[in-house]
Amino acid sequence: MKKGVIYRKPNRFGWINKSDYEEAINNLVEASKQLRPDGNCCIICGDCHQAWECHHNPLVMARKQVKQQNQFRCFHCGGVFSSKNARIHFGTLEEARNPLCVL
């Protein structure tokens, strides 16, 4: 299988071209045909998983990116925290203290 559109390097100008969009849209259309477990392999890439969990599905990858942007990792303990829990672990900017795992 060729490298999926989300894994290919952008062209020399860093742009996404029309064929990239067409492939991403096609992947989404194909994924929409496999909304429930059907006993078949992924309709997008052919691996032994379903389209809603496929790392070639642009919607899956976009949602993972958004989730990751709202997480904070502690370099001391390796913990990953949501915004609310990050404030508890790291404190606020005004507090300027060590993380709870170091205290």
Give the tens place of pLDDT for each residue, 55-93: 999 999 999 888 888 888 999 999 999 888 988 999 888
Q: How far is CA 23 from the centre of its chain?
A: 18
Classify residue 32: in a domain, yes or no.
Answer: yes
The count of domains in the chain is: 2
| Domain extent for 31 | 18-69
Asked whether residue 79 falls in the same domain as residue 96, the answer is: yes
d(CA 26, CA 20) in angstroms, rounded, equals 10
Question: 37 or 1: which carries more pLDDT confidence?
Answer: 37
Q: What is the mean pLDDT of residues 9-18?
A: 81
What tokens appear for 98 in the block? 């060590």
Classify residue 64: in a domain, yes or no.
Answer: yes
Q: What is the dihedral of CA 48, 39, 6, 9, to 10 degrees?
A: 40
Say what the pTM is: 0.66
76 phi and psi angles, rounded to 5 deg? -85, -50
What pLDDT was estimated at residue 4? Answer: 79
Please give the DSSP secondary-structure letter assigned to residue 78. -
